[in-house]
């Protein structure tokens, strides 16, 4: 089972939790602890020194270098960024080459309400990002906030922009879109193109229970401060590593073994 740690995100603030990593060093330190706790991959956004969400290539470069100095964990960069960013800004992490190139990048395949805002992903923009990911030889993690976004992957495959089978991430529980319920997860799994792999990211209080739902079904799970700041009711996680440790405990209790980064590379077909 691959555990991904979504370390930073674009929405969580230091006012909500003092444990949110912001600088490259903070991100790398938490990433290394997440690896120790059982994660095989980190999903990262970056922040300015003031903590504002950014997708700046140099901030990604600094974070990736700091992570790779400390640990062999796989690095997946966000192309979602924050609501309202334009496509070039969103794709900052895809401009990195050589030793700084990420291992994977996200690709959201449709538009959704996102709290009081709209996470805007019209079809031409999705194709633009898919082409950029493909052109640097990366595989996308297809971020699906709703079931129609799984079907869109089939269109992208027909257009030669995505290879099937692919790896999907079901993001369930953002206010305004599909919520995290076991029957929703079953429906999404049933909708997958044959042979595809999947991760589930439960947002808010469904994060840790959905690690168990994923474990039971043979899937993978994402935890982290991007999606949830609490280890239990009213108790802040003192870093992403505490959420990973709890996820690892629940996965093992369900009889699952945790993938190393090398095993995750095979399982997610990263090449």
Q: Which residues contact Zn ion by CB under 5 A?
A: 78
Nearer to ligand KMH, 105 or 215 (CB): 105
The option from ligand KMH, Zn ion, none interacting with 177 (CB < 5 to 8 A, set by class) reads none
Judge if the upstream peptide bond of residue 139 is cis by omega within 30 degrees of 0. Answer: no
Would you give the DSSP letter of residue 73? -
The option from ligand KMH, Zn ion, none interacting with 79 (CB < 5 to 8 A, set by class) reads ligand KMH
Q: How far is the CB of 76 from ligand KMH (least distance, A)?
A: 9
Nearer to Zn ion, 145 or 241 (CB): 145
Rg (CA), the chain: 17
The candidate with the shortest Cα–Cα distance to 74, out of 26, 110, 106, 50, is 106
The option from ligand KMH, Zn ion, none interacting with 239 (CB < 5 to 8 A, set by class) reads none
Q: How far is the CB of 132 from ligand KMH (least distance, A)?
A: 13
Q: How far is the CB of 78 from Zn ion (least distance, A)?
A: 4
Q: Which residues pair with 222 in a beta bridge?
A: 4, 201
Nearer to Zn ion, 139 or 256 (CB): 139
Q: Are 31 and 62 in contact (CB under 8 A)?
A: no
The option from ligand KMH, Zn ion, none interacting with 12 (CB < 5 to 8 A, set by class) reads none
Which residues contact ligand KMH (rule: CB under 6 A)? 9-11, 78-80, 82-83, 106, 108, 114, 119, 143
The candidate with the shortest Cα–Cα distance to 264, out of 209, 199, 214, 216, is 199
Q: How far is the CB of 84 from ligand KMH (least distance, A)?
A: 9
Which position's Cβ is nearest Zn ion? 78
Which position's Cβ is nearest ligand KMH? 80
Task: State both tokens at 77.
Answer: 């960069």
Q: How far is the CB of 106 from Zn ion (least distance, A)?
A: 6
The option from ligand KMH, Zn ion, none interacting with 55 (CB < 5 to 8 A, set by class) reads none
Secondary structure tally for the chain: helices H, strands E: 9, 14
Query: What does the alpha-carbon distance between residue 223 and residue 53 come to, in Å, rounded to a whole number?
Result: 19
Q: How far is the CB of 21 from Zn ion (least distance, A)?
A: 14
- Tell me how crowded residue 199 is: count the other CB atoms within 10 A of its CB: 23
Query: What does the alpha-carbon distance between residue 104 and residue 137 come to, in Å, rounded to a whole number?
Result: 9
The candidate with the shortest Cα–Cα distance to 16, out of 271, 249, 225, is 225
The option from Zn ion, ligand KMH, none interacting with 114 (CB < 5 to 8 A, set by class) reads ligand KMH
């Amino acid at each position: 089972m691959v555990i991904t740690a979504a370390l930073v995100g674009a929405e969580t603030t230091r006012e909500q939790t003092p444990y949110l990593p912001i600088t490259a060093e903070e991100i790398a330190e938490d990433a290394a602890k997440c690896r120790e706790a059982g994660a095989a991959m980190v999903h990262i956004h970056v922040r300015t020194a003031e903590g504002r969400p950014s997708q700046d290539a140099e901030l990604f470069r600094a974070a990736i270098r700091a992570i790779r100095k400390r640990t062999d964990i796989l690095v997946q960069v966000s192309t979602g960024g924050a609501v309202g960013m334009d496509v070039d800004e969103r794709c900052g992490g895809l401009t990195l080459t050589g030793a700084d190139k990420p291992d994977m990048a996200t690709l959201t395949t449709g538009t959704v309400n996102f709290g009081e805002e709209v996470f805007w992903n019209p079809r031409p923009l999705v194709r633009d990002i898919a082409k950029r990911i493909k052109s640097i030889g990366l595989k996308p993690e297809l971020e699906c906030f709703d079931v129609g976004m799984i079907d869109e992957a089939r269109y992208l495959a027909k257009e030669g922009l995505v290879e099937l089978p692919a790896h999907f991430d079901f993001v369930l529980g953002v206010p305004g879109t599909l919520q995290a319920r076991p029957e929703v997860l079953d429906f999404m799994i049933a909708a997958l193109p044959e042979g595809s792999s999947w991760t589930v990211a439960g947002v808010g209080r469904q994060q840790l229970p959905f690690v168990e739902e994923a474990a039971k079904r043979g899937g993978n799970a994402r935890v982290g401060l991007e999606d949830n700041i609490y280890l239990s009711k009213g108790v802040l996680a003192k870093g992403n590593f505490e959420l990973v440790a709890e996820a690892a405990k629940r996965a093992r209790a369900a009889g699952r073994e945790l993938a190393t980064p090398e095993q995750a590379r095979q399982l997610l077909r990263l090449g």
